Amino acid sequence: MVELAIHGGPAAAEALEIPEWPTMNEASEQYVQEALDSGHWCRNAGGEFCDRLEAEFAAYHDAKHAVAVCNGTAAIELALLACGVEPGDEVIVPSYSFIASASAVPAVGAVPRFVDTDPRTYNIDVDHLEDVITDRTVGVIGVHFAGYPMDMDRLIPLVESHDLFLIEDAAHAQGSEWNGEKVGTFGEFGTFSFQESKSLPSGEGGIVVTDDDVLAERARILHNIGREQGTTGYRHYRMGRNYRLSEIQAALALGQLEKLDAENRIREENERRLLEELEAIPGIETKPRDERITARGYCLENFRYDPDAFDGLSRDRFIEALNAEGVPVGDGYEMPMYRQPAFFRNEIGRLLPDGTDIPDYRHLHLPGVEELCRTNVSYNHKVLLADAEGVQSIATAIRKIQDNTDTLIE
């Protein structure tokens, strides 16, 4: 019997050398220095990098328009405002995601309605979606969770049949494709984040993409305090917000975009090899392979853990043991979004019109997401940038734990 690392034995994943993140490249350094030297650090001061980032990001997605913003949360809020969401409207939101995927809705005065999560894909449960639609529903926010695209073949006809807008939260999905089309381009808007942990980072930042000329113009005005794009005067046409991205962050993101595809290819190939190993381990449930997913972007990746296949070993103890073996994993989002205190009536009610019917989220029970919160194990996308031997040692470490569960169960 090989002693587990948590008990002092050698780590099974010693070969897993995870690179630092984020990483600079020559293009990012060059563009940032040019932005600094220009003296135009604010977009409205005459700089060029926000314009360049928007043009290249839109071209990368085969989209007509892109609007750079200060972060991914602002991107979702801007998309909602541009879609014409009004106080008291209802917008369907995912139950498993970073809070911004839902908190953006009350931030613009609307009511979030939570849809269950498909635990196999971590995306919204399309079967449950229609049950959540009411006569006050105006749109849907769906997340391509961990860069694994939603089932657009089912989702698009459903939202169109109810005359709803769709905002694709693609914060995790820079580079993901569905049937050869980049995600973020199926709905009215796609929203992206450039936060430091993302695969296309600029510290903070974000962007929205759309093919709709009217929505794009509306978004440009709203993100610039109600002013027309490129103007610095004091004529404001709408009650907008200042969501502008700085020139320095745009320069950094522009350089990072140039290495995104190459890094995604490494991640995708390493994940392919790892999945072949993980799929053979009882109790480790990976996401289904779907030939309609023609390219993957990444922010993190996940699998589900079944303690019954590990002699009843709890997920928390499994994670602790796997970390000791040299594999950095965690439990991800520990609760369904609707359990967050931020969505309790006394908190969310401050943002909504008086008399608004607010669901009692504390007593909501959605089985898919609650199962996922009990079983999920997550790891960061940078793990998939290690060399092939190191990535495959993850499976070795899991098997080692499975073979020695008796030493872990108290």
Q: Domain containing 379 — which CATH number?
A: 3.90.1150.10
pLDDT band at 347 (very low <50, low <70, confident <90, very high): very high
Residues 110 and 156 in one domain: yes
Tokens found for residue 71: 């972060």
Residue closest to 188 by CA, chosen among 216, 207, 147: 216
**Inside any domain, residue 244:** yes
Q: What is the pLDDT of residue 1?
A: 64
pLDDT mean over 82-100? 97
350 in any annotated domain: no
Q: Domain count of the chain?
A: 2
Say whether both 36 and 170 belong to one domain.
Answer: yes
Q: Is residue 30, in this structure, part of any structural domain at all?
A: yes
What pLDDT was estimated at residue 302?
97
Residues 230 and 113 in one domain: yes
CATH of the domain at 138: 3.40.640.10
Q: What is the average per-residue pLDDT within 35-47?
A: 93
CB 291 within 8 A of CB 151: no
Average pLDDT (355-367) is 95
Question: Nearest-CA neighbor of 202 among 393, 22, 404?
Answer: 22
Task: State the pLDDT at residue 239.
Answer: 83
User: For the purposes of burial, counting CB atoms within 10 Å of the CB of 181, is it exposed (0-12), middle (13-18) or buried (19 or more)?
Assistant: middle
What pLDDT is recorded for position 226?
A: 84
Residue pair 296/175 in contact by the 8 Å Cβ criterion? yes
Q: d(Cα 182, Cα 185) in Å, to the nearest integer? A: 6
Same domain, 75 and 14: no
Q: Supply the pLDDT for residue 164.
A: 98
The answer on 57 and 9 residing in a single domain is: no
Mean pLDDT, to the nearest integer, of 11-36?
97
* CB 191, CB 172: distance < 8 Å: no
pLDDT category, 240, cuts 50, 70, 90? confident
Which of 202, 233, 257 corresponds to the end of one domain?
257
Residues 68-94, mean pLDDT to the nearest whole number: 98
**pLDDT band at 22, cuts 50/70/90?**
very high
SS3 letters across the chain: CCCCHHHCCCCCCCCCCCCCCCCCCHHHHHHHHHHHHHCCCCHHHCCCHHHHHHHHHHHHCCCCEEEEECCHHHHHHHHHHHCCCCCCCEEEEECCCCCHHHHHHHHCCCEEEEECECCCCCCECHHHHHHHCCCCEEEEEEECHHHCCCCHHHHHHHHHHCCCEEEEECCCCCCCEECCEECCCCCCEEEEECCCCCCCCCCCCEEEEECCHHHHHHHHHHHECCCCCCCCCCCCCCCCCECECCHHHHHHHHHHHHHHHHHHHHHHHHHHHHHHHHCCCCCEECCCCCCCEEECCCCEEEEEECHHHHCCCCHHHHHHHHHHCCCCCECCCCCCHHHCHHHCHHHHHHHCCCCCCCCCHHHCCCHHHHHHHHHEEEEEHHHHHCCHHHHHHHHHHHHHHHCCHHHCCC
Provide the 10 A C-beta neighbour count for residue 40: 17
Per-residue pLDDT of 380-393, as tens digits, reads: 999 999 999 999 99
What is the pTM for the complete model shown?
0.96
Among the candidates 222, 242, 257, a domain finishes at 257
Tell me the C-alpha distance between 171 and 81, whole Å.
18
CA-to-CA distance for 325 and 330, rounded, in angstroms?
A: 13
My answer on whether 246 and 282 are in the same domain is no
Please indicate, yes or no, whether residues 122 and 60 belong to a single structural domain of this protein: yes
Catalytic site positions:
98, 169, 172, 195, 198, 227, 234, 244
Contact 304, 375 (CB under 8 A): yes
Q: Please give the average per-residue pLDDT across 199-226, as a whole number.
A: 96
Question: Is there a contact between 68 and 48 (Cβ–Cβ < 8 Å)?
Answer: no
Residue 191 within any structural domain of the chain:
yes
By CB atoms closer than 10 A (0-12, 13-18, 19+), residue 86 is exposed
User: pLDDT tens, 128-177?
Assistant: 999 999 999 999 999 999 999 999 999 999 999 999 999 999 999 999 99
pLDDT for residue 298: 97
> Is 71 within 8 Å of 253 (Cβ atoms)?
no
The percent of residues above 90 in pLDDT, for the chain, comes to 94
**Is residue 273 domain-shared with residue 157, that is, in the same domain?**
no
Query: Mean pLDDT of all residues in the chain?
Result: 96
End-to-end CA distance of the chain: 18
Asked whether residue 113 is domain-assigned, the answer is yes
Rounded distance, CA 125 to CA 266, Å? 30
**Domain-embedded: residue 357:** no
Average pLDDT over residues 356-385: 97
Between strands 181-182 and 206-210, the pairing is unpaired
pLDDT tens, position by position, 279-302:
999 999 999 999 999 999 999 999
Residue type, 324: A
Q: Are residues 174 and 243 in the same domain?
A: yes
Token code pair at residue 364:
């909501």
Is position 341 within any domain? no
Domain span at 223: 26-257
Peptide bond into 106 cis (omega under 30): no
Distance CA 333, CA 335 (A): 6
Same domain, residue pair 301 and 236: no
Residue 383 and residue 328 share a domain: yes
